[in-house]
Structure 1
Amino acid sequence: MSLTRLDRQYGAAVQSVWRTTLGRTTRAWSGLGSWRDADVRRFERTTLPVLLGGQRQVAALTASYLEQLYREVDGRAPRTDLDFDRVTGRALRDVDPETVYRRPFAEVWAALDKDVAFDAALARGTHRLETIAKTDLQLARTHTVREVGDDMPRFSYTVRELQGEYDCALCMIASTQRYHKRDLAPIHPGCDCLVKLVTADEDPGQVIDEEKLERIHDAVEDALGTFDRGGRAVDYRKIIIANDHGEIGPVLGFKGQRFTGPDDIRLPT
């Protein structure tokens, strides 16, 4: 499958919400000053509405996108009266957001109790906040797909389409699979895969692109001397594959690495 104009428009809109929401959240966190108990309450008052608003925007965009997809398949789309309380906020984890977003503060305090330098402790809290916020934005999308998909009987499965210039090997592996629409879950925090509901006359089986799957595992083995289909011995989230690298084609590297030339590890063709 390939990205359509609708896919790209939806993906760009969601990414814009991510940038705005995460930008406002991290600026609010960085400006707290002391990160003590009083700052927790101030952060909750000013930032939780931003986070919940971002989740609602992602949910609304996803519902609209799925309606348009279904219309292309069926000629019409069921009216979606999305209950945002079922796909945002507490519904995402069955935990109050106030509890969830105290965890970055707890991360800072725990590090300081272990005599970690303040800057390092704050960095840990910042990373925890970004991870939680990104995960919640993803969960708003996956919960919406499940909710809306229930009213779209022509759609049986979900597939993942890669959007980024660089994607982790775990996401690339996921893009070779089909999933039942009720089993949809985030791959990892920060994943920008586009989730598509699809229809099929018969179950194609879990692996829908065996050749690509084998190429990914071969590339990991060439780079590391080993691979793991279970994704435990090797952390595929930290292995980054460029979908297109100019003249030399797809390449493989590690998180934080940029790809500069033919000496980079190449995904076998």
Structure 2
Amino acid sequence: MLTRLDRQYGSAVRSVWGSVLGRTGQSWSDLQSWRDADVRAFQRRTLPVILAGERQVATLTAAYLEQLYKDVDGSARRVKLDLDAVTGAFLRGVDPVDVYERPFKEVRAAIGNGVDLDEAVERGANRLETLVKTDLQLARTHTVREVADDMPRFEYTVRELQGEYDCALCMIASTQRYHKRNLAPIHPGCDCLVKTVTADYDPGQVIDGERLERIHDLVEEALGKADRGGRAVDYRKIIIANEHGEIGPVLGYRGQRFSGPDDINLPT
């Protein structure tokens, strides 16, 4: 159940997301062309905005975790977080300059495949939005990993749904527990809260079996078939954590493979 602190934190993070996405999207729309000469000008304008957003998300997340920890340990020391270690190039291990050239490559590739300019530019805008959403979410999950390591009484993390509508990936993931040492799996645009948990024992991977079964039932209703024995469809394995070369674990489907940094197409 979401607490007042959860709601305040979620609202603050969504505000940052809205501001950064709005400003970067407007910068893209303001371009008169999408040639090589426009790339650097666009990056000079937008990369500082994105980095500032990442740092805001990281700071909000650290403060949120600090308050959660104080609730279980009143003597806990203040959180110390190196913002440079959870933002910018550290998120992917790739220079943001290279990352944010990809929307322009998307445009050129589309045109090369015979797509008209308007559609190509729209594809580039969608790629930009996915990149920004991913980096803002990575700032949060990397901060959770860094901060939780210094909080010994927090043993696990769980995903708390907070959107009006939540994708099936997140809904299933919210019934699982994750070890705090593992980066919380994500998908671009995910707005789930990452909650830290104190525990004297390992509750097992599934922490809400009843809800998980209800989700399976809904999947069955949507698909018109089910096979809990795993011979035709094993819905318990629909969601897994795939390793993406740059951004780490990403929520996806069993059998999905990433051939490179451009090979990702998940719900936003």
TM-score by length of 2: 0.85
Please name the residue that 2:2 is paired with.
3
1:196 counterpart SS class: strand
Please name the residue that 1:215 is paired with.
214
Please name the residue that 1:230 is paired with.
237
Query: 2:75, 2:173 → 1: CA distance?
Result: 29
Please name the residue that 1:32 is paired with.
31
Answer yes or no: is the 8 Å Cα contact 2:178–2:184 preserved in 1.
no
* Residues 106-255 of structure 1 mapped to structure 2, 5 A cutoff: 106-226=105-225, 228-231=235-238
Query: 1:156, 1:109 → 2: CA distance?
Result: 47
Please name the residue that 1:99 is paired with.
98
> How far is 1:177 from its partner?
0.6
> How far is 1:75 from its partner?
1.1
Answer yes or no: is the 8 Å Cα contact 1:78–1:151 preserved in 2.
no
Per-residue Cα deviation, 1:110-162 (whole angstroms, up to 9, x for no partner) = 01011111111111111110001000000000000001111100001001111
Per-residue Cα deviation, 1:203-247 (whole angstroms, up to 9, x for no partner) = 110100001001101111111124532227xxx98xxxxxxxxxx
Query: 1:168, 1:42 → 2: CA distance?
Result: 36
* Residues 63-78 of structure 1 mapped to structure 2, 5 A cutoff: 63-78=62-77
Identical amino acids, percent of aligned pairs: 71
What is the identity, as a one-letter code, of the residue corresponding to 1:219?
Answer: L
2:190 counterpart SS class: coil
Answer yes or no: is the 8 Å Cα contact 2:184–2:194 preserved in 1.
no
2:181 counterpart SS class: helix
Please name the residue that 1:263 is paired with.
none
Query: 1:202, 1:73 → 2: CA distance?
Result: 17
Aligned length: 236
What is the identity, as a one-letter code, of the residue corresponding to 1:133?
Answer: V
Answer yes or no: is the 8 Å Cα contact 1:139–1:185 preserved in 2.
no
Extract unaligned runs of 5+ from structure 1: 238-254, 257-269
Query: 2:22, 2:76 → 1: CA distance?
Result: 35
Please name the residue that 1:82 is paired with.
81
Answer yes or no: is the 8 Å Cα contact 2:86–2:143 preserved in 1.
yes
What is the identity, as a one-letter code, of the residue corresponding to 2:160?
Answer: E
What is the identity, as a one-letter code, of the residue corresponding to 2:74?
Answer: G
